[in-house]
């Protein structure tokens, strides 16, 4: 299997449809939450909605680069989520996450071996490979938090 397809598959496993390592994925974990559960903060932790927004902030930003655009994302804005005050707004956030994650996988699949080993925008940012695998690691990191926070939210209620 081509490297780009393997990497895209790994990304989709954690975000949308895999069950390889954790036997679940982000989409499965957030699909049954209502907006009140998703936005609830327990023990001073970030809410699940905020973590989804944060993960997707980077997915959307890297998608822009993979589409040939500029790198406009900045860490300081990655948690600047507008308030969610309804089920409809939570659904919009989830659907954006699903669509952007799927699009990310599609864009990664289209990369050539040369593209993957090439520089990500500038040499200082490392290679596309480093940044794409970093997106997978970032998703798994926050996925673990989502699973724990979900258990806490449902237990606290």
Domain residue ranges of the chain, discontinuous segments joined by +: 3-156
**What is the pLDDT, as a whole number, of residue 59?**
98
Q: In Å, what is the CA distance from 29 to each residue of 36, 102, 106, 144?
A: 15, 17, 22, 10
Q: How does DSSP classify residue 119?
A: B
* Domain at 3-156, CATH class: mainly alpha
Distance CA 10, CA 54 (A): 19
Using alpha carbons only, what angle is made at residue 43 by residues 41 and 92, rounded to the nearest 5 degrees? 15
The DSSP element (H or E) to which 38 belongs, if any, is helix 35-39
Q: Say whether pLDDT at 1 is over 70.
A: no
Angle at 115 between CA 111 and CA 116, to 5 degrees: 80
Q: What is the mean pLDDT of residues 47-57?
A: 98
Please determine, for residue 157, whether its predicted confidence score (pLDDT) is greater than 70. no
What's the pLDDT score for residue 19?
A: 76
C-alpha 64, offset from chain centre? 14
- The residue-averaged pLDDT of 104-108 equals 98
Residue 22 has pLDDT above 80, yes or no: no
Q: What is the distance, to the nearest Å, from the Cα of residue 129 to the centroid of all Cα atoms in its chain?
A: 17
Residues 6 or more apart whose Cβ sits within 8 Å of residue 112: 4
Return the number of other C-beta atoms located less than 10 Å from residue 128's C-beta: 23
**Once rounded to an integer, what is the mean pLDDT over residues 120-146?**
96
CA distance 114 to 93: 34
CA–CA distance, 72 with 70 (Å, rounded to integer): 6
What's the chain's average pLDDT? 95
Q: Is the pLDDT of residue 21 over 90?
A: no
Residue 129: its pLDDT value, please? 97
| Two tokens, residue 78 | 């990655």
């Amino acid at each position: 299997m081509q490297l780009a397809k393997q990497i895209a598959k790994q990304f989709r496993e954690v975000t949308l449809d895999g069950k390889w390592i954790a036997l679940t994925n982000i989409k499965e974990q957030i699909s049954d939450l209502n907006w009140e559960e998703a936005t609830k903060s327990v023990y001073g932790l970030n809410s699940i909605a905020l973590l989804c927004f944060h993960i997707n902030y980077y997915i959307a930003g890297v998608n822009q680069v993979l589409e040939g655009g500029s790198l406009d994302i900045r860490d300081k804005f990655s948690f600047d989520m507008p308030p969610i005050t309804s089920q409809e707004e939570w659904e919009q956030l989830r659907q954006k996450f699903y669509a952007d994650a799927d699009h990310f996988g599609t864009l990664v699949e289209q990369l050539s071996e040369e593209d993957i080993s090439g520089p990500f925008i500038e040499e200082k940012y490392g290679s596309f490979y480093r940044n794409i695998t970093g997106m997978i690691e970032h998703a798994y990191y926050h996925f673990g938090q989502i699973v724990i926070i979900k258990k806490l939210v449902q237990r606290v209620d």
